[in-house]
Structure 1
């Protein structure tokens, strides 16, 4: 018996990029010059990319995405700018290899809009949403790797607890995993609705009333594990900070505390001096490499959230490279 017809994402032209005006404002000083290169490390449906290319007629854009469908749709949207774009199937932590293949030694700006894309959420059959029943897939690149069902059905209980605690910050991880193990001994998990029903039964009623949807944290944790999101972010942050030239800027949009903490720490290290503590003067070549452009993490205002509910959880951090020295922290 055939299932429900696939529900497809809206056309890219209807996609609303998060914090678009603020992203353009922050990146403009570094990408307006002739021969400037900006990297959109999470191209998605190309909303931010299109706006940058439209605003800066001399800009070259490198767009990365691990999702073949996103690259295809974004490519159609960016067709008018095809002579100034390089769209690459890659995870953003592959940035050094991509730039090397393209012969680009340094870049002038980079945007990372983290988390799951609008395309992936809106394509019900991809299994990212807990509000619609679909196969438990959750792969951003459906052509490779394990699925969320594989994780649920094969991980040892201890590993599942770690995933839910570390990536979902789920305080009922042990209780949920006990239910998962009992269930999978009878029949393997296949569909999202099966998992949602189990989570409703596993999470205490009091928490369901005050803590949001009981599936939210588990689905987030599985998605992060399936796609290696935090490992990729851990790899791209130093690579981006190194690839950006003096005067260039990095803007990162995070959607949960795990990502935001990693971004905050990466910037904090770069905006501090490399001069050993206790010395009365700044040593030459040991000055801070970056300065912050945002005071703490910026959020979307009520007007943007009303127009684009997915902006509700966004946290923006941005910085500008102000120096380029060869002194490493290991030598100080």
Structure 2
């Protein structure tokens, strides 16, 4: 099977590339390297993966890459994924997450792609819901431009399926963490905390620290992504653990692992921040035969061990 992974040099994408290669697939990566790192792909490229450098907002380039390599599956992970950036620059967020997705779908339609797997968000798409854990049937009322752009992109998947029969699925990720997540970015609080502790600094908590999220280990996630490509499901599916973990709990576990004491630093809560987010994953089990395997303590231990020294 020949596959294309947009955003394949990033944290989740590069882990997915490795898993696809392990499963015997041919892999092409499309990434503009604005946040992804070529270093994440060194082993993959040594194993035959191909890197094409380009921006998903450039529709002609996306189409040329798909025409050149003729992938059967496309895993679309390239995105603007910083909630704060989405609120400061909503038009930029929409161009990357909506227009970029339309470009991928159009290229797939033109050149015979069999299946598109889209990385959506469960952490931001439902908004401030009272139903916890949140199932896929809950209305999507995002509280950030990022969640809104992902929801809009999901609607284009449905449009291309209705008009052209292009098979696709949106996977609504929880808060993903694990090896290769950038500790200097804004998307992954666990990586940021690990980076701070490695430098001997105190983690910074925005708000009270009592806010919860559904943290899913990247190794579990990529197995679900591949299972989704193999399925015929077209309705959105949550991928999480169905367990809430507070920011304060993360800090406690990581300080125990690191052996670095001291209280965290607190800062005001950020605009668009949800108090609680946790995903119901019954449908993932029923439709994909998938369940998360890595408990938060185990995943944090693996993540801490993989965090490079400063």
Specify the structure having the higher radius of gyration (Cα): 1
The TM-score, its normalising length taken from structure 2, stands at 0.42
The TM-score, its normalising length taken from structure 1, stands at 0.39
Larger proportion of helix: 1
